[in-house]
Structure 1
Amino acid sequence: MKKTVFITGVSTGFGKLWTEALLKRGDNVAATSRNANVLTELAEQYKGQLLPITLDVTDRAAVIKAVHKAKEHFGGLDVVINNAGYGVFGAIEEVEEKEIKDVFNANVYGTLWVTQAALPIFREQGHGHIIQLSSVLGVYSLPTLGIYNATKYAVEGFSDALAEEVRDLGIHVTMVEPNGYTTEFGGSSAVFGNSIPAYDKVKSALGAIEGIPPEDYGNPAATIPAILEVIDSKRPPLRLFFGKIGFKRAQKVYTERMQTWSEWNHVSIAAQG
């Protein structure tokens, strides 16, 4: 069945690949980027199917206008994919205030503004699906990625609550949690903190901690069938890892957490009073 999809951050990476795949199979797509000119060629190729929108997701008023424009243009809205965002690299001490605020504005508030804009439309229709591009780093943390971790933990937190709030309204919520992929995440779109030599050792050990050698980074094109299956599912999952690393790592992390909570449970109970 033909879908109408609103997707952010389509200039590169997953957003670009998923937009092209949706158009190719005949869906309608409202695709946003800070510079919609990157979509000129696709718009010519898929006239009537693609609505390019220039959008800064940190501008709440512009986000609301863009989502309603998509709804009015296509006559409805089935799926919202919050894909816009970027990575920040650096130990907690290394990242400046402006860099922290900027990434929260994009990764957290941008995702929240799009979500809030879509909800009234979905409620009125009685159906809709919100897909948040989270990360395995919204499930567990890695050193020198703590600020990025914090943005994805925030998205997971409000999306978890949202899923319960809209469960009986015909609205689904899915958090897609990719591991490392060969996208621009660590490239031109990334921000790097000011290097402090004291953290060189933990940075050099990061590869061993994460357990993803360069040859094991995922192929972004392989996510296309996966995202289409999520979009088409009548009972989509609340959370879904993309890639082979997340499940294995999460099992280890949560086993260790449960062990610690269990060992200290007598203190927890005593603290009840």
Structure 2
Amino acid sequence: MTQRTWFITGISSGFGRHMTEQLLERGDRVAGTVRNMEVMNDLKAKFGDLLWIAKLDLTDTPAIRQVVDNAFNTLGHIDVVVNNAGYGLFGAAEELTDEQISHQLETNLIGSIQVTRAALPHLRLQGHGRIIQLSTVGGQVAFPGGSLYHASKWGIEGFAESVMYEVAPFNISVTIVEPGSASTNFRYRSSTLAPKIDAYEASPAFHARRILEEAKAPSLGDPAKMAAIIIESVDQNPAPKRIVLGSDAYSTIHKALTERLAALEAQKDLAFSTDSPANT
């Protein structure tokens, strides 16, 4: 097996931690970012130089560029860049504070955009690379109570899909990963709730709040299995544009896309009727 070098944001927990552990066990090198360096002491002690760690807050664009540049310069090359770090923000749109809105978009959307932008000059120069963008079932389907989280994920999917065509001539591929629920810290430890407005107890948005407050809803997905599939996808050529993980993600996305296509087809005559006669 060829040794690869990976750059992964947010390796302290969740998919980032699972991927890092699996990659190091098989002998790959990982350059990972965290907000608290101490949480990686165990893996650093075990794997030594195979693990390169940097402290990074994705809301700090100059720091993103510095960390990415340092990783490439220190390690010589990086084969795979994984935009993994992010968190959930839940509550009705009216309940969200301005600060929460800005931080969600700066982390989940702008942070991933800037990591990709910082990595692309290096990937072009070395003549190859793979970018993996972690999204979610919520990047294809929207639920009440998650408006800003969905905005960040629908936004990053549009960005990633456009970039995959822009960089294909440089032998750089992009894959979007859309997991369903998984047994990680994301839902009950990493997610943030908006301040409560009592009127929204009558809204479907309140269901998202109840799920987080009760912390009892089960998660179907096995994050270790999901991480393994993400890793294995790098061996696929051509790279998959999207990977859906979890039976809940598959069923929900399939239903949404089927309904969306049916609605589009129902509007075909209407759409065509707006063309200018001079152009038909």
Task: Return the offset for 1:68.
Answer: 1.5
Counterpart in the other structure of 2:262: 259
Distance 1:262 1:41 in 2: 55
Post-superposition Cα deviations, 1:131-172, rounded to whole Å, max 9, x if no partner, equal 011111111111111110000001001111101101111001
**TM-score normalised to the size of structure 2?**
0.90
Counterpart in the other structure of 2:14: 13
Post-superposition Cα deviations, 1:109-137, rounded to whole Å, max 9, x if no partner, equal 11011100110111011100000111111
- What letter matches 1:244 in structure 2? S
Structure 2 unaligned spans of 5+: 210-215
Task: Return the offset for 1:264.
Answer: 2.5
1:269 aligns with 2:239: no
Distance 1:224 1:115 in 2: 20
Task: Return the offset for 1:199.
Answer: 2.8
Distance 2:120 2:188 in 1: 33
Counterpart in the other structure of 1:33: 34
Distance 2:76 2:20 in 1: 19
Distance 2:87 2:10 in 1: 10
Q: 1:48 to 1:206 in 2, by over 3 A?
A: closer
* Matched-pair identity in %: 38
Distance 1:192 1:205 in 2: 12
- What letter matches 2:147 in structure 1? G
1:221 aligns with 2:224: yes
Number of residue pairs the alignment of both structures matches = 268
Counterpart in the other structure of 1:182: 183
Counterpart in the other structure of 1:4: 5
SS in 1 for 2:148: helix
**TM-score normalised to the size of structure 1?**
0.93
Task: Return the offset for 1:31.
Answer: 0.8
Task: Return the offset for 1:205.
Answer: 5.4
Whether the aligned pair in 1 keeps the contact of 2:12 and 2:34 (CA below 8 Å) is yes
Task: Return the offset for 1:39.
Answer: 1.2
- What letter matches 1:259 in structure 2? A
Distance 1:55 1:45 in 2: 22
Distance 1:150 1:92 in 2: 11
Task: Return the offset for 1:61.
Answer: 1.4
Match of 2:237 among 234, 237, 240: 234
- What letter matches 2:55 in structure 1? T
Q: 1:268 to 1:204 in 2, by over 3 A?
A: same
Distance 1:255 1:224 in 2: 28
- What letter matches 1:253 in structure 2? A
**What aligned pairs does 1:58-207 form with structure 2 within 5 A after superposition?**
58-201=59-202, 202-203=204-205
Post-superposition Cα deviations, 1:76-119, rounded to whole Å, max 9, x if no partner, equal 11000111100001111111111011010000111011100110
SS in 2 for 1:124: helix
Structure 1 unaligned spans of 5+: 208-212
Distance 2:124 2:18 in 1: 29
